[in-house]
Amino acid sequence: MPGFIFKKGRVGIVSKSGTLTYEAADQVAKAGLGISTAIGIGGDPIIGTPTKDAVELFMNDPETDAIVMIGEIGGGMEAEAARWIKETGNKKPVVGFIAGQTAPPGRRMGHAGAIVGGADDTAAAKMKIMTECGIYVVSSPADIGATMKKVLS
């Protein structure tokens, strides 16, 4: 990946969105921080690495000091990861973003995994759960870097 976007550092990224992975990395780099590892898990219905597993890897990685967790509407992986973070004591700060905040209910958005099936997998519901679990939730991906810098200072 381009060195001007992915600068070496100590922030891990796990994301369902490839494009938002680049955006988060760029935001973190522009904030004077860098990336330890970026894990793009995709948003398809069948995923090999769930969000929680990627977050757990970062929590146990001595070269990662903080985490960016990017999710989207549909499914319950972000809520599962958020609850795991809270249950295990929030060892490292997490900045989170959920894509699809303006998506109409019941409509497939982008790919097979991004469809809201119920009240608990809307962007608003996921953002509420994440906030309740101690994650610093941003409403725009443009705020990821500045929020991470603030959280780490």
- What is the average pLDDT score of the chain? 88
- As annotated, the active-site residues are 111
pLDDT tens per residue across span 77-133: 999 999 999 999 989 999 999 998 877 666 555 554 555 555 667 889 999 999 999
Number of domains in the chain: 1
At a CB cut-off of 8 Å and minimum separation 6, what does 8 contact? 34, 35, 36
| pLDDT band at 6; cut points 50, 70, 90 | confident
Domain with 103, as residue range(s), is 9-46+65-72+84-108+121-152
Are the C-beta atoms of 69 and 42 separated by less than 8 Å? no
Q: Per the domain annotation, does 101 fall within a domain?
A: yes
Q: Per the domain annotation, does 16 fall within a domain?
A: yes
Specify the pLDDT at position 109: 56
Q: Per the domain annotation, does 60 fall within a domain?
A: no
Select from 14, 25, 7, 26 the least CA-distant residue to 96.
14
Q: Per the domain annotation, does 147 fall within a domain?
A: yes
Q: Rounded mean pLDDT of 55-82?
A: 95
Q: Per the domain annotation, does 54 fall within a domain?
A: no
Provide the CA 129 distance to its chain's centre, in angstroms: 13
Q: Per the domain annotation, does 4 fall within a domain?
A: no
Q: Per the domain annotation, does 114 fall within a domain?
A: no
Domain holding 96: CATH number? 3.40.50.261
Q: Per the domain annotation, does 14 fall within a domain?
A: yes
